[in-house]
Structure 1
Amino acid sequence: MITELHTTRLHLRQMKAADSTDLFQVWSDPAVARFMNISPFSDEKQALDMIQLLANLAEEKQAIRFSIIEKESGRIMGSCGYNYLDDEQARAEIGYDLAKIYWGRGYATEAVSALLRHGFSSLQLNRIEAKVDPRNVNSTKLLEKLEFTREGTLRSYERAGSVAEPGSRDTFNDLYMYSKLASD
């Protein structure tokens, strides 16, 4: 499985432990974590543990997550990747996050476009999915700009809150299901 992708402004590289400090900064921001169904990280070890979990999934060819690096500055801006890979059904689910200072500059669109190109051409996927909290207007706009189809609402699909916050996981959030097909 490929571990690097390049765009005009971005270098997407498989996450590694050395990225934990920068990714902790992204994942500890409440504005970023809000729609990731995680509580903002409070310790860098959480980022390191997440990177290790994702590395294990990549080793098993079940997922791959990339650090998004701005070519010009060399800074890690966030992450993106295939949260779930299903070779048998030729489909994947994507996810992405960016540090707030990079929002609104087209970086997420550029990163997701690279995932789409790679997924449909190199991985020979038929379907790429994304699940999005309906309140995440920026993400729904991004997917619609990239001509994903909103297939519907997954009702009460995901627990709200965090295990660290007693009582917060008693409710469930809806998610929109988006997809893009190789034939689209």
Structure 2
Amino acid sequence: MSSANTEVAYNSKIEGGVVVTKLDAAIDWIRAHSVWPMPMGLACCAIEFMSASCSRFDISRFGMEVTRFSPRQADCMIVAGTVTYKMAQAVRRIYDQMAEPKWVVAMGACASSGGMFRSYSTLQGVDRILPVDVYISGCPTRPEALFDGLMALQKMIAKEPGLKLLKRDRPVKPLYFS
């Protein structure tokens, strides 16, 4: 039996060993599939984020298993839960410490719109202090919905120019404290 007939693996002599692509496309693909999230766990949605990291749901399938708890090392803030006015200053300060490019995911009804808490102490949506890229509904959000939102974020990242300096000029409403 000859060795040419039994060859089933990749052969660089036959295939050429060359991958042709644009540098911008390669950088976009790498950035989209190596997002390092930082959970800003403020309420019950943070528990659902923890379950998404476990073996049953396995967030590492999407290239996001490197969860960082330092804003200097993360590029995606996942705001999970109720944001109070007292906590809003800290959330904004942590967001400002993140390096560009950075993205924000509002996880759950409370982070998206204040949820069922219509009180003087609750911020009615984190988009009043941060530029939110993806909103994920639910109370609390299931891990499947979180993955759907994170895949939408990956598609958005892949469309952004990778070689250009990203300067976010999105308007953010200032938050005034009295």
TM-score, normalising length from structure 1?
0.29
The structure whose RCO (Cα within 8 Å, separation 6+) is larger is 2
Q: Which has the higher strand share?
A: 1
